[in-house]
Amino acid sequence: MIEFDQVQKSYQVGGRAIPALHATSMTIQAGEVFGIVGHSGAGKSTLVRLINLLERPTDGRILIDGENITDYSAEQLRALRRKVGMIFQHFNLLSSKTVADNIAFPMKLAGNYSSKEISVRVAELLARVGLSDHASKYPSQLSGGQKQRVGIARALACRPAILLCDEATSALDPQTTQSVLQLLADINRELGLTIVLITHEMDVVRRVCDRVAVMDAGRVVEMGAVSDVFLHPQHPTTRDFVFESENIDRNEMQEDLDQASGRILRLTFRGDATYKPLLGQVARDSGVDFSILSGRIDHIKDTPYGQLTLSLVGGDLGVAMSALEAADVHVEVLR
Ligand SMILES: Nc1ncnc2c1ncn2[C@@H]1O[C@H](COP(=O)(O)OP(=O)(O)OP(=O)(O)O)[C@@H](O)[C@H]1O
């Protein structure tokens, strides 16, 4: 478990303190995939780099499994950094070393592994990330996705309990992003590793994260289960991220709403409710006529969800809303 207790960080620039993270308290549970989403400069990297003390807090305490790491000695800090692996947007591989040597590097640096242990572990990791045939290649001979797989294998070499991912898929195309996110999800499930993932794309959060913190100007402005935050965003910054990820043009959406008659409802279906043929039944029972203004069906991690915006006329709206809510559909009245 990672706990931030009133953690604050300012950078000193030319004698002035630039605040990057205002006093923040939050907990990341062991074994979860925790997303941090925010625009450029929001303070995401700062927050994540505090977890392995690449940056030191200006104030507050950071506890990992109950231990205050800000009090650690140099020796304890070295041990902490072996427990916390990290992967980067631009992979940060050593270009003069082969794939196998890049993966072996942190184990050699740690100094307490035999060469036999290192070669067994490297072979195991190469297989885990699907690169067994590329052990002797150099980074320049690999694609972006393969380089990130090497980055992941290297980060896992010393069997960390936490993996920090700093915009790990931002330099990759959509298909490669998908396969790297799938690898991270598999690793999280199989190894029980805690993953903290920074991104500026809500879609990345939707695919792999259990919980998310939304950052804006050095503050966490919204935090919660991805299904709650994504489907019912409260803060304007969160709404922007969700609309952006769903390719929704707010002006166009407003025009559609203005043209529609009657009441406008937004229905959110989660899990099994997503596939139930509810609307026809509700319309018959309540006498309400409806037309669909927009709709989508997708997944949050492995859970299906659907969202529909409807305009409704006639009949008994109260009966319709009660029937939907009784079937576990979240009903939001937009107008
Ligand atoms: N080493 C530094 N020295 C001075 N200011 C810094 C330093 N690192 C970050 N900052 C400032 O702190 C604020 C937060 O930066 P940070 O890199 O944490 O944001 P971010 O959300 O990760 O942005 P990006 O997505 O662009 O990486 C910004 O205003 C940035 O300019």
3-state secondary structure 96-114: CCCHHHHHHHHHHHHCCCC
Please give the distance, rounded to the nearest whole angstrom, from the Cα atom of residue 58 to the centre of ligand 1.
Answer: 15
List phi, psi (to 5°) of 38.
180, 160
Per the rule left: phi > 0, alpha: psi between -120 and 50, beta: everything else, 170 is alpha
pLDDT at residue 275, as a whole number = 83
Whether residues 36 and 51 fall in one domain: yes
Looking at the fold, whether 256 and 238 belong to one and the same domain comes out as no
Q: Where are the beta strands (DSSP E) in the chain?
A: 2-13, 16-28, 33-38, 59-64, 67-68, 84-88, 162-166, 194-199, 211-216, 219-225, 263-270, 289-300, 303-313, 330-333
User: Which residues are CB-neighbours of 270 under 8 A, at least 6 positions away?
Assistant: 227, 231, 303, 304, 305, 328, 330
Q: How many Cβ atoms sit within 10 Å of the Cβ of residue 75?
A: 8
In this structure, are 299 and 229 located in the same domain?
Answer: no
The tens place of each residue's pLDDT in the chain, 335 residues long, gives: 999 999 999 999 999 999 999 999 999 999 999 999 999 999 999 999 999 999 999 999 999 999 999 999 999 998 888 899 999 999 999 999 999 999 999 999 988 899 999 999 999 999 999 999 999 999 999 999 999 999 999 999 999 999 999 999 998 999 999 999 999 999 999 999 999 999 999 999 999 999 999 999 999 999 999 999 999 999 999 999 988 887 777 777 777 777 878 899 999 998 888 888 888 889 999 999 998 988 889 999 989 999 999 999 988 989 999 999 999 899 998 88
Query: Which residue's CA is minimally distant from atom 31 of ligand 1?
Result: 41
Q: Which residues pair with 34 in a beta bridge?
A: 196, 211
Output the CA 116–ligand 1 centroid distance in Å.
41
> Do residues 23 and 139 share a domain?
yes
Q: Which of 225, 244, 263 is the last residue of a domain?
A: 244
In the chain, the amino acid numbered 264 is I
Span from the CA of 89 to the centroid of ligand 1 (angstroms): 15
How many angstroms separate the CA atoms of 147 and 301, rounded? 25
* Tokens standing for residue 78: 């070295």
What's the DSSP call for residue 138?
-
For ligand 1, what atom is nearest to the CA of residue 215? 21
Q: What's the domain count of the chain?
A: 2
Whether the CB of 16 sits within 6 Å of ligand 1 = no
Q: How far apart are CA 69 and CA 77, in angstroms?
A: 8
Domain boundary among 176, 210, 244: 244
Q: For CA atoms 191, 151, 80, 197, give the dihedral sign.
A: negative
Q: Cα dihedral angle (223, 198, 38, 202), rounded to 10 degrees?
A: -80
Which is nearest to 22 in space by CA: 71, 59, 64?
59
240 and 255 share one domain: no
The CA distance from 241 to 201, in Å, is: 7
198 CA to middle of ligand 1, Å?
13
Q: Which two tokens stand for residue 5?
A: 């207790």
Q: Are residues 168 and 42 in the same domain?
A: yes
In this structure, the residue with its CA closest to atom 29 of ligand 1 is: 41
In degrees, rounded to 5, the angle at the alpha carbon of residue 243 between the alpha carbons of residues 242 and 246 is: 85
Q: What is the rounded distance in angstroms from the CA atom of residue 159 to the CA atom of residue 121?
A: 10
Containing structural domain, residue 148: 2-244
93 phi/psi in degrees, rounded to 5: -85, 160
Task: Tell whether 163 and 308 lie within a shared domain.
Answer: no
Q: Whose CA is nearest to atom 4 of ligand 1?
A: 11
